[in-house]
Amino acid sequence: MMMRPLSWLPLLALLAGCATQDPRESSGTDPIPLAPDQVTLPTAWRHEPATESVVATAWWKSLNDPVLNDLIAQAQSNNPDLKITRARLNEIKNIAAEADSDEKETAAGLLLAAENDAHVIQLGVTHTVVTTYLEAQLADKRKEILQQRMQLAHDLTARLHRKLEAGLINSRSLRESEQTEIETRTATEKNHHDRRQAVGRLALLTGLAPIEFKLTPGTDPLSANLELRPDLPSRVIERRPDVQAAWQRLLVATMSKPDGDLPLAARLDLAEASIDNRDALYRKSVLAALQEVEAALSGWRSSRAEAGTSAEFLEIQSANVHDLERELTAGRISQIELLKAKLAENLAQENALLAQYALRGAFAATQLALARN
């Protein structure tokens, strides 16, 4: 079934429609790819069980942070991009409501495509709020660790100075300690800058000016025990709004063709919606969705392994410090050796913290790839 182009279609040149008839039955065109819920997935996906029931609540609540929950609620209400998206969607609803009887089918498809586009933006905003909040929270925790490191490095440098003046050590050990102080000072300044930038982005994401926004402390970032059970492959592709939007654009290309009576600009816009172009974009969206999910799951597994390794290494460094404290009490080592061990423990603490935050970032990335709300 071929439908005449909508008289208002040039206003919505980048949106798409849908058809009740299977477009693969259309004559004169190559077969259209399978719909998102019929896509043939890689063998490795086909044997994975579906676990849709495990995501009954919003995924970010797994982080157990009420401050984050409030920020996402504010963003969903006040985010500038979401406000713009809702305004555009309302305009499209109004236009669709005025469609003629023979345009209703395409109008419904245009609206569905617009809703999928809006869903893409909503998922992206949620993901950005989570990752930006994690950056701000990480900066707060790193500040404490860097302050401890600066004090340890300062104490070590002072003791080494006295040793050098007494001729008991060479200057290399002192230079290494001084370099640690310099690097820690630089890292502290950068960490302060990173937090300020993250808070500024959170203000924008929640629709506030930076001067109006205040970030309150959240919960312990390491308290949440994250679990990820992806529902592959039964729902991922058909749930992805970008794939659905591309599918709708492909469908509308089977229902309309450029009208010679339209202005040149409108005909050029319609040419962009050719079947070949929309077919390529749809196939690309499916492949991109598969690749993003695979990459996100791989990142999750890698981050989880790194978090475990970092935690184990921290335990080793902490045990070493405890042993040396007993050695110092017994008079078998100097305070300098203990300070060096505490610096090593401090670095291990920072690495463990970074690994835990990377794990949370991978968790958020995977939820975005799976298009979970």
Are 291 and 240 in contact, with CB atoms under 8 Å apart?
no
Residue 349 has pLDDT above 90, yes or no: yes
Tell me what pLDDT residue 38 has. Answer: 78
Report which residue type is found at 147. Q
Tell me what pLDDT residue 308 has. Answer: 94
Give the DSSP per-residue string, 50-115.
P-GGGG-S-GGGGG--HHHHHHHHHHHHH-HHHHHHHHHHHHHHHHHHT--GGGHHHHHHHHHHHH
Give the DSSP per-residue string, 205-244.
HTT--GGG--PPP---TT---------TTTTHHHH-HHHH
Half-sphere exposure of 201 (CA within 13 A, CB side): 18
Tell me what pLDDT residue 12 has. Answer: 33
Tell me what pLDDT residue 24 has. Answer: 41
Tell me what pLDDT residue 335 has. Answer: 95
Tell me what pLDDT residue 28 has. Answer: 46
Least confident segment among 52-56, 60-64, 178-182: 52-56
Tell me what pLDDT residue 200 has. Answer: 95
Burial class (CB in 10 A: 0-12, 13-18, 19+), 33: middle
Q: Rounded CA gap, 221 and 357, in Å?
A: 8
- Record the tokens describing residue 211, joined without a space: 């001067």
Are 50 and 239 in contact, with CB atoms under 8 Å apart?
no
What proportion of the chain, given as a percentage, has pLDDT over 70? 79
Tell me what pLDDT residue 248 has. Answer: 84
Q: What is the DSSP letter of 39?
A: P
Q: Rounded CA gap, 53 and 56, in Å?
A: 6
What's the whole-number average pLDDT of the chain? 83
In tens, the pLDDT along 181-238 reads: 999 999 999 999 999 999 999 999 999 998 889 998 877 766 667 887 766 555 788 8
- Record the tokens describing residue 19, joined without a space: 């058809």
Greater model confidence, 106 or 371? 371
In tens, the pLDDT along 155-164 reads: 999 999 999 9
Least confident segment among 84-98, 153-167, 257-271: 257-271
Distance of CA 299 to the CA centre of its chain: 12
In tens, the pLDDT along 291-338 reads: 898 899 899 999 999 999 999 999 999 999 999 999 999 999 999 999
Using alpha carbons, list the distances in angstroms from residue 161 to 155, 185, 339, 341: 10, 19, 14, 18
Greater model confidence, 92 or 188? 188
Tell me what pLDDT residue 210 has. Answer: 87
